[in-house]
């Protein structure tokens, strides 16, 4: 079953749908017609993170569909934390493509969405014929257990991924002031407002992440109205669904063991930020692209922070259109 509502946006129409995707429902926002391009957001964001890409893709002749990942926005939020494992999210993407009446799509992701998009292309290459990866480089499954890796990354302090593991702990920091916390988190990873070249997302002595966020004005890419949209979504839904993605990394490591070391062979694109900690932490993964992404058509570093498609929308749109046009 599909429910629809429509609102005008410029010369194009934006269509909201709730798609049945197996045991869950996924909220999508669609603009344009033509070859399907599925857009997957990261943390802590929503379909709205692609607001500057969708009209450009639509005007170029693509069917741009941005979704709320399960746990976010109007999509389902299962209670069981284990329902947010990577293979479930891959199947959500496959189900969305089919519910839209398509057999294949190019998939583009940012932050966690980059990893979800890459894993979707790896696990379901018959559905996802091309993949765009923004900010978080592709690393094949395998290697050390993730919880062990992240436990070491903070040194004597606690790395944010480890901090997110305990149910309710991060929620108790964020949910009393969602808008203020989001503003700080976005500032900390934005190229024009971050405190330094590495935001050091760690806590110390039982403290909070908020204590380490830079103060000041919003980053240049984010208006008060846009921040209000994000805040309203999380004030309505809470943060548990979004944080449950982090709480499944060891499960993913086990689930994806059959794909250990596997490359993605489809055409691929990577766009990172020179001041993005996610890109810098995984620079070795970018160096390994000749082996891990043999279909890579381009690897680009832009002068920005983490929120790449919002910080540098014109550059990202140009690179996406060049990539999609080459398929």
The reported pLDDT for the residue numbered 203 is 72
DSSP calls for 43-62: TT--GGGGTTTHHHHHHTT-
Name the 3-class secondary structure at 267.
Answer: coil
Q: Assess contact for 9 and 55: CB atoms under 8 A.
A: yes
pLDDT in tens, 95-145: 999 999 999 999 999 999 999 999 999 999 999 999 999 999 999 999 999
Report, as an integer, the average pLDDT of 219-244. 97
Q: How confident is the model at residue 33 (pLDDT cuts 50, 70, 90)?
A: very high
210 vs 35: CA distance, rounded Å: 42
The reported pLDDT for the residue numbered 200 is 58
Q: How many residues does the chain have?
A: 327
The reported pLDDT for the residue numbered 9 is 41
What is the tally of helices (H) and strands (E) in the chain?
Answer: 15, 11
Flag whether pLDDT at 10 surpasses 60: no
Flag whether pLDDT at 6 surpasses 60: no
**Residues with catalytic function:** 111, 306
Q: How confident is the model at residue 195 (pLDDT cuts 50, 70, 90)?
A: low
pLDDT in tens, 60-78: 999 999 999 999 999 999 9
Identify any residues that bridge with 34 across adjacent strands, giving them in sequence order.
Answer: none
The reported pLDDT for the residue numbered 3 is 43
Kindly report which listed range (127-131, 181-185, 253-257, 274-278) carries the lowest average pLDDT score: 274-278
Average pLDDT of every residue of the chain: 93
Domain ranges of the chain: 2-325
Q: Considering the chain, what percentage of its residues have pLDDT values greater than 70?
A: 94
The reported pLDDT for the residue numbered 204 is 67
Flag whether pLDDT at 270 surpasses 80: yes
| CATH hierarchy code of domain 2-325 | 3.40.50.1820
């Amino acid at each position: 079953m599909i429910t629809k509502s429509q609102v005008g946006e410029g010369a194009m129409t934006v269509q909201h749908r709730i798609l049945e995707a197996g045991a869950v429902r996924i909220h999508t926002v669609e603009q344009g017609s033509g070859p399907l391009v599925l857009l997957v957001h990261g943390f802590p964001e929503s379909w709205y993170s692609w607001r500057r890409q969708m009209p450009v893709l639509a005007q170029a002749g693509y069917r741009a569909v941005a979704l709320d990942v399960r746990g976010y926005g109007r999509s389902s939020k299962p209670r069981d934390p284990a329902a947010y494992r990577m293979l479930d999210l891959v199947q959500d993407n496959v189900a969305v493509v089919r519910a839209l009446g398509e057999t294949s799509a190019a998939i583009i992701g940012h932050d966690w969405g980059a990893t979800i998009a890459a894993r979707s292309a790896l696990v379901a290459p018959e559905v996802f014929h091309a993949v765009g990866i923004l900010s978080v480089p592709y690393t094949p499954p395998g290697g050390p257990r993730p919880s062990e890796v992240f436990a070491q990354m903070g040194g004597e302090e606690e790395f944010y991924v480890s901090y997110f593991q305990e149910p309710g702990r991060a929620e108790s920091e964020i949910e009393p002031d969602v808008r203020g916390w989001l503003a700080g988190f976005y500032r900390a990873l934005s190229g024009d407002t971050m405190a330094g070249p590495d935001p050091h997302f760690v806590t110390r002595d039982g403290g909070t992440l908020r204590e380490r966020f830079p103060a000041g004005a919003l980053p240049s890419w984010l208006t008060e109205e846009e921040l209000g949209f994000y805040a309203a979504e999380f004030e309505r839904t809470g943060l548990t669904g979004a944080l449950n993605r982090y709480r499944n990394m060891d499960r993913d490591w086990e689930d994806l063991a059959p794909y250990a070391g596997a490359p993605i062979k489809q055409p691929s694109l990577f766009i990172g930020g020179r001041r993005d900690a996610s890109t810098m932490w995984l620079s070795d993964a970018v160096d390994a692209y000749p082996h891990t992404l043999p279909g890579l058509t381009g690897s680009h570093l832009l002068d920005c922070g983490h929120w790449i498609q919002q910080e540098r929308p014109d550059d990202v749109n140009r690179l996406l259109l060049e990539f999609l046009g080459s398929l």
